[in-house]
């Protein structure tokens, strides 16, 4: 489903919907549209979001949820296209949880060194998540918090073992060529952040495989681009590591 606001909605599994939103970024320099995903999980008390996108698209996201109340938001990291509308959802009465190491970034509204277009209204999250925390959402959903530092110092993924799904934030690159631009932009931002560390991200990717979080049967729900099973893109981890190594040479 698509509409003029650039929103795409797809139920990727029962009670899990991917909502793709887009904003025009750096309008004066180049007409570049940044597309990003928010995942909406239907739970008994309403909707739980994983990442929430920019504040610019918060109203569009709200209308896409068709009156279902957002009770909780879990963030993978503090970049604008993942966490930028955190303040909005707090005002809407949701609880917003973020990795502890990302909280300073959330309070200041994005990476200190980032250009204005990558900044957002700062906010104090309701609470934090830590590596290996278990998030029981009622029913069949229980997400484990997986520490994957590198893209930002406190980046995490959320893994649901029964469904074998991984909400991967920006740890893995989308398989589509067009998203290269998105990631190069993200990485140029990351390079400005003294704490972002591409080598750490390559190590985090390796650990996801060696620790058995990513298997051939795992469904990856990325921050950008369409979902995919690892068996369909068996070289996804390698490709991401290769691209990261390339970024090191930029």
Nearby residues of 183 by Cβ (< 8 Å), 6 or more positions away: 170, 173, 174, 224, 243
Tell me the sheet residues that pair with 70.
47
Binding string to Zn ion for residues 138 to 177, with x set by CB under 5 A, is what? --------------------------------x-------
> Least distance in Å: CB of 170 to Zn ion?
4
Minimum Å gap between C-beta 79 and Zn ion is 3
CB closer to Zn ion out of 22 and 186? 186
Compute the distance between CA of residue 113 and CA of residue 193 in angstroms, rounded to an integer.
6
**Burial track 192-206 (b if 16+ CB lie within 10 A, e otherwise):** ebeebbbebbbebbe
As beta bridge partners, residue 35 has: 22
Rounded to whole angstroms, the Cα distance separating 187 from 83 reads 17
- Is 224 a binding residue for Zn ion by CB under 5 A? The answer is no
- Residues 170 to 209 in contact with Zn ion, rule: CB under 5 A: 170, 186
Q: How far is the CB of 219 from Zn ion (least distance, A)?
A: 21
Judged by beta carbon, residue 113 or residue 161, the one nearer Zn ion is 113
- Taking the complex as a whole, the smallest distance from the CB of residue 245 to Zn ion amounts, in Å, to 18
Strand pairing category for 156-160 and 165-169: antiparallel
- Binders of Zn ion among residues 71 to 110 (CB under 5 A) are 79
| Tokens read off for 248 | 């090191």
**Size of the residue set binding Zn ion (CB under 5 A):** 3
Residues forming the site for Zn ion (CB under 5 A): 79, 170, 186
């Amino acid at each position: 489903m698509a509409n003029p606001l650039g929103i795409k909605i797809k139920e990727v599994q029962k009670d899990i919907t991917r909502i793709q939103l887009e904003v025009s970024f750096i309008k004066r320099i180049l007409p570049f549209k940044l597309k990003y995903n928010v995942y909406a999980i239907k739970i008994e008390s309403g909707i739980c979001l994983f990442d929430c996108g920019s504040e610019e698209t918060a109203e569009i996201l709200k209308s896409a949820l068709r009156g279902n109340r957002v009770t909780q938001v879990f963030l993978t990291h503090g970049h604008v296209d993942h966490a930028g509308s955190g303040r909005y959802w707090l005002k809407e009465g949701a609880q917003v949880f973020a990795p502890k190491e990302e909280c300073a970034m959330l309070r200041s509204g994005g990476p200190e060194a980032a250009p204005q277009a990558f900044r957002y209204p700062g906010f104090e999250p309701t609470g934090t998540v830590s590596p290996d925390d278990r998030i029981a959402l009622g029913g069949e959903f229980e997400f484990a918090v997986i520490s994957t530092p590198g893209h930002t110092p406190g980046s995490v993924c959320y893994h649901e073992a029964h469904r074998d799904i991984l909400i991967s934030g920006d740890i893995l690159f989308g398989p589509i060529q067009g998203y290269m631009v998105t990631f190069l932009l993200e990485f140029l931002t990351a390079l400005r952040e003294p704490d972002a560390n591409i080598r750490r991200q390559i190590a985090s990717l390796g650990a996801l495989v060696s620790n058995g979080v990513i298997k051939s049967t795992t469904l990856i729900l990325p921050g950008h681009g369409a979902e995919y099973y690892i068996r369909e893109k068996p070289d996804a981890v390698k490709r991401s590591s290769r691209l990261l190594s390339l970024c090191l040479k930029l």
